[in-house]
């Protein structure tokens, strides 16, 4: 397979070089027709994938079975009385991508449009990879997908000298199964677990590797009616609307599958590897129901006072009532004196302080009200200067409560006796937030060939958040009431300044500086009185762009982006050595991005385009004040990668054009050695594609297109278990009527 891939790439490169050597004018083509209306395109495409078909679907967004059908169509019909009917559609079986839309429009009356579309998104429910034991535990069928659909009805009434009335209704759905970033625990990692007198486990065998999936069943109905009218120099828009949400989602998680702590436990007099003592399997099903009914109303205006001043503003109110329900069903498999059994909320009852998992059933309601307003003005004191200033304000208020029922079963291993525990807790939350945001945007073009611009915003928010949490104490199995209150102050300042300079027809330069300053201050009261926490992080950077045209046929675009951030944390409870007054620095990050694009019109028959990007990105997650054995558990997070793509287009004859394309991606951030102390993260992968395409004009109304290619993807982060490769093919016929 590798030799075939190499041969294909070599052949593609040789063909590209051959086409670049075509003399000017040797294969000029007539302009191929483009169809904007009254056409239909039939297409078929697929791949013969070796390796992980689930990974292929998730990465490329293409079905492993391929796709066949109508890729695109549009028909316009002129009816009587200056009316037009437009029909657009798509139907690709295999890809499960469908669209059918009708639009009827009449001059000086308006339009009405109705349509339905659905498409499929693919996921790979594989879980994680662990390099020490070469562990790969895909418990479920890996190819997952979610179907998204939307039925839409909208229209406009636009009569002469009357307000323009618009309406829209949508019914959106999301249904299917996708993977989750929440992974389950396993001890089957290849790390030995020792038992017996004097035994020491230098490394924990537990890692989060087991895949988790979510079953989605979501519906959202939304409607809105608006009126737009201009009176003199003022244009006003008034709208009302609402939405209804009905979601029922189920998350399935498995832990310690394939393990079982046996009873009676084996007895060893010397340190012995005994992985059978690992753990008890647990299966958790979390059902979450969310039902919401909301309404909103808004009004906006824009008034042109004179040629230099325009005023604008608006007000919106949104209210919603929400009903929520949660059920967490946890089943544990435990071996005791009575045998191996499944227990609801089961745990090993080794004493009154045994940590207990539990069943949870809860039901509650929430309410929120949001009032938002803005006012501003645009000034043009001269033809070269434009200024816009605005002030936004908001009052967000939400409250809610829910009643939770807890239950669990403690198992005495020596007898198999079961003790049932049950408790009930009332939770509540009240939150009020009031942010204000002034903004200013300025643009100046009074310098020849130079445009200067700047923007600034400063968001401040005061928030009072109060939480009542009456939860189950896992150790004592009794209710535990926490009253958590926080006064939260936030400040967020964003500023940008830049210029665009046309030095001469062959050189354009652009430079931009930006800064973002964020501070979040949490002051506790009630049960957490005096427990203060401050998070401050600053981001600054620059963007530099140069567009160079050394000749009429060559264009080069170069871009460099630098972004740096620095974070500081204050916590009143921090007393660790190296911490100054409860403050630590950490999570600093630096990102360098270099990109280059080259376009070359070799001749009237041949053009070439090449793009490349190199990124160096690191976030400091290892706090400098940590020392000793704990330091081994921290690594800086790297996200360095390289991308590239190249396209060569050429004329074959007067009716035929061709293209050669190639893409490349490489990242090398996976640290397998870190597996000894933690879960190794960071992406390491290599992916490349190459293809050759041809487009041929069969007639003035018919175009034939085809493409053959090859894809090769290697994913070291997943130990090679998600690798795939294979040839790709695509064919389409487009016909105009």
pLDDT tops 80 at residue 3 = no
pLDDT tops 70 at residue 511 = yes
Mean pLDDT (the chain) is: 90
pLDDT of residue 362: 94
Distance between CA atoms of 71 and 148, rounded to whole angstroms? Answer: 18
Q: What is the mean pLDDT of residues 308-329?
A: 97
> Closest by alpha carbon to 434, among 484, 395, 475, 474?
395
Pick the more confident residue, 473 or 653: 653
> Per mean pLDDT, which range of 31-40, 428-437, 527-536, 587-596 is the poorest?
527-536
Q: Exposed, middle or buried by CB within 10 Å (0-12, 13-18, 19+), for 95?
A: buried
pLDDT of residue 18: 35
Distance between CA atoms of 493 and 519, rounded to whole angstroms? Answer: 9
pLDDT tops 90 at residue 586 = no
Q: What is the mean pLDDT of residues 639-660?
A: 96
Distance between CA atoms of 309 and 320, rounded to whole angstroms? Answer: 38
Could you give the C-alpha distances from 412 to 255, 335, 409, 556, in angstroms and in order?
21, 10, 10, 74
Confidence of residue 9 (pLDDT cuts 50, 70, 90): very low
pLDDT of residue 248: 97
Q: What is the mean pLDDT of residues 104-115?
A: 96
Q: What is the mean pLDDT of residues 280-307?
A: 96
Identify whether the C-beta of residue 205 lies closer than 8 Å to the C-beta of residue 191. Answer: yes
Q: What is the mean pLDDT of residues 373-402?
A: 97
pLDDT of residue 68: 97
Q: Exposed, middle or buried by CB within 10 Å (0-12, 13-18, 19+), for 124?
A: buried
Identify whether the C-beta of residue 608 lies closer than 8 Å to the C-beta of residue 646. Answer: yes
pLDDT tops 90 at residue 127 = no
> Per mean pLDDT, which range of 126-135, 530-539, 624-633 is the poorest?
624-633
Confidence of residue 490 (pLDDT cuts 50, 70, 90): very high
Pick the more confident residue, 342 or 584: 342
pLDDT of residue 26: 41
DSSP state of 7: H
Tally the C-alpha atoms within 13 A of residue 629's C-alpha that lie toward its C-beta. 4
Confidence of residue 351 (pLDDT cuts 50, 70, 90): low
pLDDT tops 80 at residue 1 = no
pLDDT of residue 31: 74
pLDDT in tens, 246-269: 999 999 999 998 888 888 888 888
CB atoms within 10 A of CB 725: 21
Angle CA 410–413–417, to nearest 5: 55
Burial 208-240 (b: 16+ CB within 10 A, else e): ebbbbbbbbebbbbbbbebbbeeeeeeebbebe
pLDDT tops 80 at residue 633 = no
DSSP E strand stretches across 572-683: 583-585, 589-600, 606-619, 637-638, 641-653, 656-668
Confidence of residue 478 (pLDDT cuts 50, 70, 90): confident
pLDDT tops 60 at residue 7 = no
pLDDT of residue 452: 98
Identify whether the C-beta of residue 153 lies closer than 8 Å to the C-beta of residue 166. Answer: no
Confidence of residue 650 (pLDDT cuts 50, 70, 90): very high
Distance between CA atoms of 106 and 104, rounded to whole angstroms? Answer: 7
pLDDT tops 80 at residue 17 = no
End-to-end CA distance of the chain: 45
- The model's pTM: 0.88
> Closest by alpha carbon to 243, among 169, 166, 173?
169
Read out DSSP for 161-216?
Answer: TSPEEEEEEEEEEEEEEEE-S--EEES-SS---EESTT---SS---EEEE--EEEE
Q: What is the mean pLDDT of residues 555-567?
A: 96
DSSP state of 580: B
Confidence of residue 23 (pLDDT cuts 50, 70, 90): very low
Angle CA 466–470–473, to nearest 5: 130
Angle CA 703–705–708, to nearest 5: 170
pLDDT of residue 8: 34
Read out DSSP for 302-346?
Answer: EEE-SSSEEEEEEEEEEEEEEEEEEEEEEEEEEEETTEEEEEETE
pLDDT tops 60 at residue 5 = no
pLDDT tops 70 at residue 702 = yes
Percent of the chain's residues with pLDDT above 70: 91
pLDDT of residue 529: 86
CB atoms within 10 A of CB 343: 21
Distance between CA atoms of 334 and 354, rounded to whole angstroms? Answer: 15
Pick the more confident residue, 555 or 632: 555
pLDDT tops 90 at residue 531 = no
Percent of the chain's residues with pLDDT above 90: 70
Pick the more confident residue, 120 or 16: 120
Helix (H), strand (E), coil (C) string for 257-284: CCCCCCCCCCCCCCCEECHHHCCCCEEE
The residues pairing with 241 across neighbouring beta strands, listed in sequence order, are: 224, 296
Q: What is the largest CA-CA distance in the chain?
A: 97
């Amino acid at each position: 397979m590798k030799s075939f891939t190499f041969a294909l790439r070599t052949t593609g490169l040789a063909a590209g070089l051959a086409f670049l050597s075509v003399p000017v004018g040797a294969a000029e083509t007539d302009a191929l027709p483009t169809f904007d209306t009254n056409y239909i395109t039939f297409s078929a495409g697929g791949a013969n994938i070796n390796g992980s078909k689930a990974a292929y679907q998730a990465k490329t967004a293409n079905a492993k079975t391929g796709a066949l059908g109508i890729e695109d169509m549009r028909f316009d019909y002129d009816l009587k009385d200056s009316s037009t009917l437009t029909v657009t559609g798509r139907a690709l079986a295999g890809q499960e991508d469908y669209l059918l839309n009708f639009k009827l429009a009449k001059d000086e009356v308006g339009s009405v449009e109705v349509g339905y579309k659905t498409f499929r998104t693919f996921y790979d429910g594989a879980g994680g990879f662990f390099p020490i034991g070469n562990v790969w535990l895909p418990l479920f069928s890996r190819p997952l997908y979610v179907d998204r659909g939307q039925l839409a009805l909208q229209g406009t009434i636009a009569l002469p000298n009357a307000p323009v009335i618009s309406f829209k209704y949508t019914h959106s759905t999301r249904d299917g199964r996708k993977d989750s970033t929440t992974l389950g625990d396993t001890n089957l990692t290849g790390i030995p677990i020792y038992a017996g007198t004097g035994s020491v486990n230098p490394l924990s065998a537990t890692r989060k590797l087991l895949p988790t999936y979510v079953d989605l069943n979501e519906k959202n109905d939304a409607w809105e009616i608006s009126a737009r009218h201009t009176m003199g120099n003022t244009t006003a828009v008034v709208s009302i609307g609402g939405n209804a949400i009905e979601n029922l989602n189920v998350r399935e998680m498995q832990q310690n599958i394939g393990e079982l702590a046996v009873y009676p436990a084996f007895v060893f007099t010397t340190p012995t590897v005994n992985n059978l003592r690992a753990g008890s399997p647990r299966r958790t099903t979390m059902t979450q129901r969310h039902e919401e009914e909301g309404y909103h109303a808004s009004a906006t205006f824009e008034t042109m006072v004179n040629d230099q001043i325009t005023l604008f503003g608006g007000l919106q109110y949104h209210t919603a009532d929400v009903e929520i329900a949660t059920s967490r069903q946890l089943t544990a498999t435990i071996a005791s004196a009575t045998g191996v059994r499944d227990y609801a909320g089961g745990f090993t009852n080794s004493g009154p302080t045994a940590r207990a998992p539990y069943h949870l059933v809860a039901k509650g309601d929430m309410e929120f009200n949001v009032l938002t307003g803005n006012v501003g003005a645009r000034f043009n004191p001269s033809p070269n200067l434009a200024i816009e200033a605005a002030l936004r304000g908001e009052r967000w208020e939400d409250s809610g409560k829910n009643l939770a029922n807890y239950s669990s079963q403690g198992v005495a291993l020596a007898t198999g006796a079961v003790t049932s525990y049950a408790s009930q807790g009332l939770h509540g939350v009240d939150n009020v937030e009031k942010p204000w945001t002034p903004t200013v945007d300025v643009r100046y073009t009074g310098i020849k060939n130079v445009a200067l611009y700047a923007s600034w915003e400063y968001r401040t928010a005061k928030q009072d958040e109060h939480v009542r949490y009456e939860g189950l104490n896992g150790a004592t199995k009794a209710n535990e009431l926490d009253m958590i209150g926080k006064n939260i102050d936030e400040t967020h300042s964003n500023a940008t300044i830049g210029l665009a300079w046309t030095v001469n027809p062959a050189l354009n330069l652009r430079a931009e500086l930006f800064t973002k300053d964020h501070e979040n201050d949490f002051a506790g009261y009630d049960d957490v009185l005096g427990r203060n926490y401050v998070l401050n992080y600053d981001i600054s950077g620059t963007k530099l762009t140069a567009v160079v045209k050394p000749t009429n046929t060559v264009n080069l675009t170069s871009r460099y982006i630098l972004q740096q951030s620095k974070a500081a944390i204050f916590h009143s409870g921090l007393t660790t050595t190296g911490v100054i007054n409860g403050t630590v620095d950490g999570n600093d990050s630096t990102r360098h991005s270099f990109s280059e694009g080259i376009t070359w019109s070799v001749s009237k028959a041949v053009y070439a385009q090449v793009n490349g990007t190199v990124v160096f990105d690191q976030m400091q997650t290892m706090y400098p004040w940590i020392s000793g054995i704990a330091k081994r558990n921290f690594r800086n997070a790297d996200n360095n990668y390289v991308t590239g793509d190249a396209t060569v287009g050429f004329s074959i004859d007067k009716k035929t054009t061709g293209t050669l394309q190639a893409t490349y991606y490489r990242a090398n951030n996976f640290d397998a050695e870190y597996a000894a102390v933690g879960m190794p993260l960071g992406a390491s992968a290599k992916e490349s594609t190459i293809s050759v395409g041809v487009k041929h004009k069969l007639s003035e109304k018919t175009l034939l297109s085809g493409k053959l290619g090859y894809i090769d993807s290697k994913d070291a982060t997943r130990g090679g278990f998600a690798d795939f490769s294979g040839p790709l093919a695509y064919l389409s016929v487009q016909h105009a009527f």
